[in-house]
């Protein structure tokens, strides 16, 4: 057992855990944020995706001890940037979720995609998002929502002076 400091959604959590414990379980069961989901435990489905310093990671494959207190973790509960809100609004506009279980991970991946590639082509979206499984089959809506979000993010940037 080790004391580990985690910065999640701009809040510092000091937890006592086995450093080998995947970040996923630390987030869900120790810190108590349930929006990040367990799907496969092998990094194959993307349901557990969170952002570490802006980069998408599979939290089920990341030992909690490998993360330093300085690194910033963002989970779906902390998705509050302008871009993330635009993405969530696009998800609602296109009525993306069915069961909804994978959607936290989908939104985390989509955010990372649009941050690194603000105008993704259809192929870019497919390549980037194919690591996230949706068993309900909402892919075409995810694709449309990402395209809408990309458009809205670009449209509003020129008008917006505040970040």
Partner 1 sequence: MSLESRRSFIKKAGATGLTFWLGLSYVKGANAPVISTAKSLTPFIKIDANGITIFNPNPEMGQGSYQAVASMIAEELEVSLDQITIKNTSGEKEFGAGQWAGGSSTVREGYLTYRKIGASAKEMLVKAASQTWGVSPESCRAKEGKVLHAATNRTLKYEELAEAASLLEIPKEPKLKDPKDFKMLGKSVKRPDIPLKVTGKAEFGIDADVPGMLYSSVERCPVIGGTLKTFDATAAMKVPGVVKVVSAERVIGKYSSTGVAVIAKTYWAAIQGRKALKIDWDTKGFETFNSSDYEQKLRALSKEEGILDKQKGSVDLPVAQVVESFYETPMVAHHPLEPMNCTVHVKGKKVEIWTSTQVPISVTGPGMMGSLPGMMGIDPEDITLHAGFIGGGFGRRLYFDYIVEAINVAKQVDSPVKVVWSREDSTTQGPFRPMTFSKMIGGLSEKNQVVSFQHKVISPGFMDSAMPNWDKTKLDSMMTEGISAQEYDIPNMKNSFVFADYHVPLAAWRSVTSSTLAFAHECFIDELAHKAEKDPLDFRIDLQSTNTDTKRVLKKLREITNWGKPLPAGKARGVAQWDFFAGLSAQAVEVSLAKNGAVSVDKVYVVIDLGTVVNPDNVKAQVEGAVLMALSAAIHPAITLKNGVVEQKNFDTTPVTRMSEAPEVIVEIITEGAKIKGVGEPGLPPFAPALGNAIFALTKKRLRKLPLEIDFV
Residue 163: CB partners within 8 Å, gap ≥ 6?
A: 82
Q: How many Å apart are CA 142 and CA 157, to the nearest integer?
A: 22
**Shortest separation between residue 158's beta carbon and partner 1, angstroms:** 26
**Per CB under 8 A, 65 contacts partner 1:** no
Residue 2: CB partners within 8 Å, gap ≥ 6?
A: 16, 17, 18, 19, 65
The closest of 90, 92, 123, 88 to 108, measured between CA atoms, is 88
**Per CB under 8 A, 31 contacts partner 1:** no
Q: How many Å apart are CA 148 and CA 24, to the nearest integer?
A: 30
Q: Looking at beta carbons only, is 21 or 158 nearer to partner 1?
A: 21
Kindly write out the interface string for residues 97-126 of this chain, putting x where it contacts partner 1 by CB under 8 A and - elsewhere. xxxxxxxx--x-----------------xx
**Per CB under 8 A, 135 contacts partner 1:** yes
Q: How many Å apart are CA 31 and CA 83, to the nearest integer?
A: 25
- Binding window for partner 1 (CB under 8 A); candidates: 19-27, 65-73, 112-120, 155-163: 19-27
- Binding window for partner 1 (CB under 8 A); candidates: 41-49, 65-73, 111-119, 151-159: 41-49
Q: Which residues bind partner 1 (CB under 8 A)?
A: 1, 17-18, 20-22, 25, 29-30, 32-42, 44-45, 47, 75-77, 79, 88, 91-92, 95-104, 107, 125-127, 129-143
């Amino acid at each position: 057992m080790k004391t580990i400091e985690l910065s999640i959604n701009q809040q510092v959590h000091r937890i006592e855990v086995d450093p080998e414990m995947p970040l996923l379980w630390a987030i869900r069961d120790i810190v108590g944020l349930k929006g990040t989901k367990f799907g496969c435990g092998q990094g194959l489905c993307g349901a557990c995706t969170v952002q570490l310093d802006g980069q998408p990671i599979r939290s089920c494959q990341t030992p909690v001890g490998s993360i330093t207190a300085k690194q910033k973790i963002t989970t779906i509960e902390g998705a509050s940037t302008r871009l993330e809100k635009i993405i969530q609004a696009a998800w609602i506009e296109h009525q993306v979720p069915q069961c909804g279980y994978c959607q936290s991970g989908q939104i985390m991946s989509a955010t990372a995609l649009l941050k690194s590639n603000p105008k993704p082509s259809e192929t870019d979206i497919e390549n980037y998002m194919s690591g996230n499984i949706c068993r309900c089959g909402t892919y075409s809506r995810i694709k449309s929502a990402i395209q809408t979000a990309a458009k809205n993010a670009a449209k509003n940037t020129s008008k917006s002076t505040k970040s």
